[in-house]
Structure 1
């Protein structure tokens, strides 16, 4: 099972499943998130689609068939039916960081609007009523209740979102919701469901009309739902699979006991620099990762942040210099049009994991943390100028933007993390960096080929 049928899932977990040595024994039933469109389009072509691997040297094409059923996420009855089935062994999640809905301190927040709505719906269903939870985690909790009631065995929940210790995050969110329901479901989940942490990596931009046309021209068939990705891919997993899993490691996945160093390397170096480029790049007039990286001001901001993050990535085998060089080559691949506006969404959630840990570690070591603080300053400048930013705390950001000077900076930082928003020295540091990226915008703008 997979919750969050999007381009990344189809370029990553679905690819690994197709390339596992026992692929013929497995199939993925994938459910959409907010809209049914992806499921509708895939279902009309028997869930087959083309994966376009795009490198500087050209494109290659592969038909992926590991998804065997694509379903509208609102079809909760089908979700419950499939998760209750004994044949279901794994439930994977790519629901975005914000969808886990935990409070800033990482605890379950039963009073958040999404959790409160889910609890009302789950309580009504438990009492014999009708309805359905609105969030993916609420739907998962309902489906797990059905598995318990049908006598189903244990299974694994595998988070593939960009969160540190994402398996633990998923556990806290699911168990928090189940425990708040108060029907004994939390105890059953605790005893029968494992939560696996992963680190995932493959740049997958949104598919364009030009991509669809290219597949038709090069492959000789019509595909409404191709996916474009870079050749690079990486998947690190840590946790138990009580009902089994595909042999993903034979397709190149890595199974480890301690995933934290790999998570931090990816969250800080790749995702952190993506955030810098997303905010700084758009402030400076760029629209893609490759364009932003070609701007010396953005490139320096990335390198400075990487220097800070590398101070706290000391585990054996991480090969940080080589990883950084590989990122520069991947980001510079102008044939992958990774849109900065896509990366910029959900800043309060993402920055909490990408900027704050490095900033706090640097300051604890007696350093300023200016590279990390610049990421926060770029976001603050971005939400002041963007008219259509997406964020789970959008209304709170808009309210903070009505303040002035240090009060505005403090209020916005508190939305990311109370610990930094309440630290006067950090507030002063970030405020001093606001506006610095655009001070020489006109002089430093770099022309780039489309």
Structure 2
């Protein structure tokens, strides 16, 4: 049956029947829907792997997707135009505070995978990489779960994971895999640390149970996915006839590399193009340094020049030269063949120039306090160990300092008060304070 023009997207006219829920996802933003949900959709056993997805704090996305029975249109924008695809892998969508649903799913032995995309800041890490127990929300979560392990109200991602695992342990539902999909090095170990820390505060026996029953998979993820615009929704309506309030625009390119155990099984993501490897780190560093690093460089430096998007910025010869210099500084320190690095750089330029993707520099600039330490600092340290200051690398930190001083994209950061205070005083003072905060206190960098 064909849709009536403007009819809301639903399984009546599009997509597959909802599959049994076997995956729970935390953080149902655009990236997840363009990436892990898309790989699940394209797995040959997709009919066996439904996803129950939970939002962050807002219920708006859950309401929009639930009204469409979990369906949404992925709008793949490339140089050849826009191609719509209906994704059916979300069997249920809930607001993040629906803890009863979360506990119910995690207590079900059929659910064997938990994925997450909540940004670096969402995992509530302290400076040493462990759980930030000084965070008021983290402290409240610990108190709530100590007082009531099976019904306590929690608000953080580590708290929600531990609440679900408490329910799973109580139900005897067996082992599962936790699969973070955020741009954080060794993200599996990172989530294992914060979850283990919180579990230990709540119940030391739970900490031991987690170690025995939960695997933490490390991933590298890549697909440029900007915010949805009214134009995206209008294009989908024109191409499909459907009124879709949950459209997700993205690029043709996609990459997913995973390493770790899945004790209860997983979808055949590798048949959909994902790579399952023994060691994610070479791919992780390539993406983190070359793509994410150059993104941050453009977000801070190119926005000062007045550019709003990646596509605008990369056409500026000055910005292009900055990006190339950054790659020249980072590339030699990757544990990959030089030909692979060169090919990846060329592919990135093609992706950045894609006129169909409006990737806002202001969006990329957010949460620099989490991003700069992992995108810029390792490259700068590697250059210093080689005996050079590498201006192509240090420019990123200089641009971040300028950003914190009010130039270019606005500061949107969970630690805004802390990091903007670093950039006060004279420019030299701001640079020195920021370098010290980044643990890069080297005179060669100040000049």
TM-score normalised to the size of structure 2? Answer: 0.91
- Corresponding residue number in structure 1 for 2:390: 369
Please point out which of 219, 225, 228 is paired with 2:240.
219
Q: 1:338 to 1:304 in 2, by over 3 A?
A: same
Q: Which of 185, 188, 205 matches 1:164? A: 185
Query: Is the 1:276–1:298 contact (alpha carbons within 8 Å) kept by the matching residues of 2?
Result: no
Structure 2: gaps (5+ residues): 1-23
Q: Secondary structure at the match of 2:217?
A: strand
Comparing 89-98 and 130-139, the one that deviates more:
130-139
Please state how far the C-alpha of 1:332 moved relative to its aligned partner: 0.6
**Tell me, what secondary structure is at the counterpart of 1:319?**
helix
Instruction: Return the offset for 1:314.
Output: 2.8
Deviation at 1:392, TM superposition (A): 1.9
Q: Which of 68, 88, 97 is 1:74 aligned to? A: 97
Confirm or deny: 8 A CA contact 2:183 2:288 kept in the other structure: yes
Please point out which of 269, 276, 284 is paired with 2:305. 284
> 1:324 maps to what in 2?
345
Q: Does residue 1:380 correspond to 2:390, yes or no? A: no
The match for 1:107 is 130
d(CA) in 2 for partners of 1:132, 1:395: 28
Q: Distance in 1 between matches of 2:253 and 2:420?
A: 38
8 Å CA contact 1:165, 1:260 repeated in 2:
yes
Moved over 6 A (4+): none
Q: Which moved more, 1:365-374 or 1:198-207?
A: 365-374
- 1:53-132 matches, cutoff 5 A: 53-126=76-149, 131-132=152-153
Residue 379 of structure 2 aligns with which residue? 358
Q: Show the counterpart of 1:399.
A: 421
1:22 to 45, 49, 53: 45
How does 1:171-250 map onto structure 2 within 5 Å? 171-250=192-271
Aligned length: 423
Contact preservation (8 Å) 2:82, 2:356: no
**Whole-Å Cα distance in 1 between the matches of residues 140 and 394 of structure 2?**
36
Selected match of 1:412 from 410, 431, 434: 434
CA distance in 2, matches of 1:313, 1:50: 36
Contact 2:226 2:358 in 1 (8 A): yes
How far apart are the structure 2 equivalents of 1:239 and 1:259? 10
Structure 1 residues 379-408: Cα deviation after superposition (integer angstroms, max 9, x where no partner): 110121158411121111233344333332
Cα shift at 1:99: 1.3
* Cα distance change, pair 112–310 in 1 and its aligned pair in 2 (3 A): same
Q: Contact 2:78 / 2:355 at 8 angstroms: preserved in 1?
A: no
Asked whether the 8 Å contact 1:358–1:369 carries over to 2, the reply is no
Distance 1:261 1:361 in 2: 15
- 2:123/2:156 contact within 8 Å kept: no
Contact 2:401 2:423 in 1 (8 A): no
What does 1:326-345 correspond to in 2, within 5 Å?
Answer: 326-345=347-366
Could you tell me how far apart the structure 1 residues matched to 2:203 and 2:391 are?
46
Aligned equivalents of 1:315 and 1:388: distance in 2? 36
Query: CA-to-partner distance for each residue in 1:416-444, whole Å, 9 max, x for gaps?
Result: x2x21x33443x14xxxxxxxxxxxxxxx
Determine if contact 2:199/2:206 at 8 Å carries over to the other structure. Answer: yes
Describe the shift of the 1:249–1:318 C-alpha distance in structure 2 as closer, same or farther (beyond 3 A): farther
1:9 matched to 2:9? The reply is no
Match 1:266 to one of 287, 290, 295: 287
- Give how far 1:297 is off: 1.7
Counterpart in 2 of 1:31?
Answer: 54
Q: 1:317–1:36: structure 2 CA closer, same or farther, 3 Å change rule?
A: farther
User: Aligned partners of 2:59, 2:114: CA distance in 1, in Å?
Assistant: 19
Is the deviation greater in 319-328 or in 115-124?
115-124
Post-superposition offset of 1:112: 3.1
**3-state secondary structure, aligned to 2:363:** helix
**How far apart are 1:54 and its partner, in Å?**
0.5
Unaligned runs of 5+ in 1: 430-450
Q: Deviations over 1:316-355 (max 9, x none)?
A: 5971100000000000112210111111100011111100
Contact 2:389 2:444 (C-alpha < 8 Å) held by counterparts = no
